Each structure stands twice: as C-alpha cells, then as structure tokens.
Amino acid sequence: MTRNAYYVTTAIAYPNGEPHIGHAYEMIATDAMARWKRLEGRDVYFLTGTDEHGIKMVQTAEREGVPVRDLADRNSARFKQLAGALNLSNDDFIRTTEARHYAASQAIWNAMVAAGDIYEGKYEGWYSVRDEAYFDASELTDGEGGRKFAPSGAPVEWVEEPSYFFRLSAFADRLLKHYEENPDFIGPNERRNEIIAFVKRGLDDVSISRTTFDWGIPVPDVPGHVMYVWVDALTNYMTGVGYPDVDGQMFQRYWPADLHVIGKDITRFHTIYWPAFLMSAGLALPRKIFAHGFITVDGKKMSKSLGNVIEPFALVEEFGADPVRYFFLREVSFGNDGDYSREKFVNRNNADLANDLGNLAQRSLSMINKNCEAKVPEVGAYSDADRALLDLAATATARAVKAMDEQLVHEAVAAIWEVVGEANRYFAGQEPWALKKTDPVRMGTVLYVTAEVIRRVTIPALAFIPESAGRILDTLSVPADKRLLAFANDGSALVPGTDLPAPQPVFQRFERTKAE
C-alpha cells in the first residue's frame, strides 16, 4: 500500500534581513504542492521556518549594533508574517533557536559520533563567510591588494581553528549508489547530473564545528565548540516531525520527508551532506530533493545597489496574495530561473485571472442569476461541443496530477488554464445570450456546461489561488467537503435546481504603470 502521509518542506531562510521575492517564490511554490497533495486526499504535513545560527547572523547583528537574538526574533517574525500574507498552509513554522531543535541537533550529532563518523582535527583554509564554505586555493581568484575571492565573487580569509570533522569522504560510494538506485532523488535532471559528476570526483571530509564564535548549538560534551550552521539547519526537517522521538507518532507518520523544496544554490548541502548525515545516523533518507531556479527582476539579479529589490509585502499589498501566487506559479518554469517585471505581472493577471477566469465566471453566473431563477440550470441534451469541453477538463486535471508529481507546477497551471481558455471560446461561440429568446432550454444547457466547467477547473485551482478559487466555489454552492480532486469529475457535477448566491467579481484588473 502506498502511504497516505506526505511531508513537504521549504528551505529555512536566514533571518539576517527582510524576506525577498526569492523567499516568497519558494514559499508559494511549496505551498501549491502541499495544497495539491491535500486536494489529492493525502495527509499532508508542510513545514517552513527560519535558520537562525551561523556567522552571517553574528556579523549582521554586529553591524546593526543589536544582540543577535533580537535580530533573529525581529526578522524571523517577518518571515512568519510573509507566510501569512501569502496565505501559506504550513502546519508548523520552525525556528532553529527553539529548544526542540537543540535536542534534535544534539541527538543527530551523538548518533554520528556513535557511528564513528566524527573525529577531532584542525581546520585551516580559505573561508568565505558569504558562502559559508572553505575553498581550495586552486578555486580562488586574486583581486586588488592581494585579496582572494571565491568563485561566487565573495572575499575569502585564511582561518585556522580546532574543529570536528564529518567523514564525508567515506560516503561517496554509498551516495552514488543511492542516486543510481533512486533516479528521482534529485530533481531536476540537470542538478542530478551535476551532483553525480561532483561526487564522482571524490569528497573531502567536512569541518562541522566552530570555535571562533558561540552563536550556535553547542557540540554535546565539548565546551567551546558550536555546530557548523548547516549541521543544525538540515536537521530542522526532522525536528519538525518530532526527532529525536523516533518512535513518536509524528516521526512514524511523516519521516522520511517526501520532498524538500530548495533553491539551486544549496543543492550540494541537501543532496550530499544531508543524506550522508542521515546514513551515518541510521535514519531514512528523504524521497526527493527538488531545486528551483532563481528569480531576477527586469532581467537583472536583485540587489540593493541596483535598487531593484522587490519587496514581497509590497506586492501582496498592492495586488493581493492570489495574483502574486498565480504569476510566479504560471510564469516561471519550475526548476529554471524566472523573471519578475511589473509588465509581465499585470499582463498575466489581466489576461488569465481578470479576463479568462474572472469574466467568464461573472458573465455566466450573472446570466444564471437573472435568467435561471438563481439556480443551477436544468440540462437538455448534450451537444458534441458540450461533451468535448467537459472531457477536456477531466483530461487536463489528469495531466496536472502527473505534472505535479514531477514538480512541473507551471505545466499543471497551464493545463488547467488551457481549459479556461477553451471554456471562453465555447461561451462566446454558443452565444447563450442569443439563445435566451430562440431556445431557452439550450441556453440553460450552455450555462450549465459553463458553470460545471468552472467548477471542474476551480477545484484544482484551489492549490494555486486558494482564496479566489474558494470564493468561486462558494458562488457555485459547492460544499466544503466536495472540494477535492476526486470530485472534479462527472459523478459530482453541479445539481440542477441548487440555489446559487449572487455572483461577486473575484479578480481585478491592474495598470501597467503604478499610480503615484
């Protein structure tokens, strides 16, 4: 029997600044997947949160002249607020500064010690604070004044410290075997190929403790050492389901995770370090890690100096959560980089939401309200066009299910909106307003088919634009317990004679230039 539980996570963001549009994007996409699995009837657990330790947090706090805990509290609250603003359906929000997470991180550390995979040594090397990684001298480039830079362009400094190491080098073969036997473990394929090539070159052991600062989780029984932030960060996924209580209900039910959604820059940590830590600790590996691309603004990398940073709160405030969600889900091929521009945003919103879905729902439902006593119309005989449209909706949902299983969110949205487009052509072609006098029975059938197709597309749309889709289903009097994909078919079609409330417009048009 395939299990019904489904555990999905986002990466946990660093709260060393305000959330940006890249963070919002990852939240939106992961939420769409979580909601989709719920629509499929799965028992979903969805975790997001903040990654609050590490040198970056310490340095930002120093620059701002605030205690690091205050910085973490302030910005973590903003991420939590963003989850609310974007209408995320997360079941928990984890902070790595919580006591439960200390317990989990120390437990996995102890398990790796017991397995003989942690040893004491000394670390010296070129370290980039921004990348949080040491680099080989051969990877560095020389800059002005003898300074050296990592491949990312971040400056590096020579660091020497006593450190504990994780025996990652011993895991290369086991990891390669795992990738081989589980071809879906890393997605998309491009990332999988990169990782396999990287691991095949051999792995170095990793330094996993720090002594130069104390903002971290203490290494058990070793005063003066805190864990390297990635050891504790990755462990959050297990803390969220009750680790170290491996016999507990939550861990039994949800671990291993079905899907970690992350950005492409942190693929190595998730597909090399994380499975190796888990293998060492004797724990099951997540089923899949999927890396999405990066969001640029007007074709450029977002940066404070370019002044093109798009503030997710400002977007939601101006446009509302659903148009923002829709834009990113539909416009960006999940797994590839994507671009935000106001023009593209407004075009998408106006075409797909305000015109195609919004106008169709408003026009057809207003006609029903006026001409069919505000009840689901009676149906005459179906024409070929009626059947073709209803069938198209069924196949589109099936295509969307398949696409969502492969994290091709944009394809799932496109499949559903293809039906919306077809329904518009159908409505315009059938001209129900002209049938009013000539053939009222046929008019009722056309309005019925239109309303029924709106129901069929709006159920899957609940994953993408939950609030608006919910309001459309309200105006179709679809009961709450019938809002699952299993009901988006013939057997649960609208019942003629059902009372319908007066329709209210659900979407808005926006202007390409912002009013000052």
**Contact assessment for residue 14 and residue 55, using Cβ atoms and an 8 Å cutoff:** no
Choose between 22 and 244: whose C-beta lies nearer to ligand ME8: 22
Q: Which of residues 29-68 bind ligand ME8 (CB under 6 A)?
A: 51
- How far are the Cα atoms of 172, 214, 239, 263, 271 from residue 96, in angstroms, in the given order? 28, 15, 9, 19, 21
In the list 47, 86, 238, 295, the residue contacting ligand ME8 (rule: CB under 6 A) is: 295
Q: Which two tokens stand for residue 453?
A: 């197709």
Which one of 155-163, 258-266, 389-397, 400-408 is the stretch in contact with ligand ME8 (CB under 6 A)? 258-266
Question: Minimal CA–CA distance to 353: which of 506, 513, 514, 511?
Answer: 506
Q: How far is the CB of 63 from ligand ME8 (least distance, A)?
A: 17
Q: DSSP for 374-439, please give it.
A: TBPPP--PPPHHHHHHHHHHHHHHHHHHHHHHTT-HHHHHHHHHHHHHHHHHHHHHH-HHHHHHH-
Fill in the DSSP letter of residue 354.
I
In the bound complex, which residue of the shown chain has the CB atom lying closest to ligand ME8?
263
Read off φ and ψ for residue 445, nearest 5 degrees. -65, -45
Give the residue with the Cβ less far from ligand ME8, 339 or 418. Answer: 339
Yes or no: say if 43 and 8 are a contact pair by the CB < 8 Å rule.
no
Q: Which stretch binds ligand ME8 (CB under 6 A): 134-142, 261-269, 361-369, 396-404?
A: 261-269
First to last CA, the chain: 58
Count of chain residues binding ligand ME8 (CB under 6 A): 18
In the complex, minimum distance from the CB of residue 225 to ligand ME8, in angstroms, rounded to a whole number: 20
Question: Quick check: 213 binds ligand ME8 (CB under 6 A)?
Answer: no
Which of 105, 468 has the CB closer to ligand ME8?
105
Cis peptide before 218 (omega within 30 of 0): no
Which backbone phi and psi does 180 adopt, to 5 degrees?
A: -65, -50
- What is the smallest separation between the CB atom of 270 and ligand ME8, expressed in angstroms? 7
Nearer of residues 11 and 435 to ligand ME8, judged by Cβ: 11
Ramachandran category for residue 307: left, alpha or beta (phi over 0 → left; psi -120 to 50 → alpha):
left
For position 93 contacting ligand ME8 by CB under 6 A, the verdict is: no
Among 187, 242, 244, 263, binds ligand ME8 (CB under 6 A): 263
Q: What angle do CA 38, 41, 45 make, to 5 degrees?
A: 45
The dihedral of CA 50, 53, 59, 64: what is its sign?
A: positive
199 lines the binding site for ligand ME8 (CB under 6 A): no
Q: Is 294 in the site for ligand ME8 (CB under 6 A)?
A: yes
**Shortest spacing between CB 486 and ligand ME8, in angstroms:** 32
Provide the token pair at 261: 């959604």
Q: Which amino acid is at 375?
A: K
Between β-strands 206-207 and 157-166, what pairing exists: parallel, antiparallel or unpaired?
antiparallel
370 is in an annotated binding site: no
In the complex, what is the shortest distance from the CB of residue 207 to ligand ME8, in angstroms, rounded to a whole number? 18
Task: Give the span between the Cα atoms of 431 and 217, in whole angstroms.
Answer: 67
Which of 61, 118, 262, 457 is the binder for ligand ME8 (CB under 6 A)? 262
Largest interatomic CA distance in the chain: 89
Site string for ligand ME8, 7-26 (x = CB under 6 A): ----xxxx-------xx-xx
Residues 6+ apart with CB under 8 A from 150: 126, 128, 130, 131, 133, 135, 139, 140, 156
Measured from the CB atom, is 13 or 372 closer to ligand ME8?
A: 13
DSSP H/E element including 314: helix 312-319
Are 87 and 28 in contact by the 8 Å Cβ rule? The answer is no
Q: How far is the CB of 211 from ligand ME8 (least distance, A)?
A: 22
Q: Of 60 and 362, which has the nearer Cβ to ligand ME8?
A: 60
Indicate the residue among 95 and 456 with the shorter CB distance to ligand ME8.
Answer: 95
C-beta of 484: minimal distance to ligand ME8 in Å? 30
Q: Smallest distance from the beta carbon of 380 to ligand ME8, in angstroms?
A: 51
- Using CB under 6 A as the binding rule, whether residue 233 contacts ligand ME8 is answered as yes
234 binds ligand ME8 (CB under 6 A): yes
Which of 92, 139, 265, 406 binds ligand ME8 (CB under 6 A)? It is 265
The reply on whether position 415 binds ligand ME8 by CB under 6 A is no
- Beta carbon nearer to ligand ME8, 12 or 488: 12
Which residues contact ligand ME8 by CB under 6 A?
Answer: 11-14, 22-23, 25-26, 51, 233-234, 236, 262-263, 265-266, 294-295
Binding residues for ATP: 300
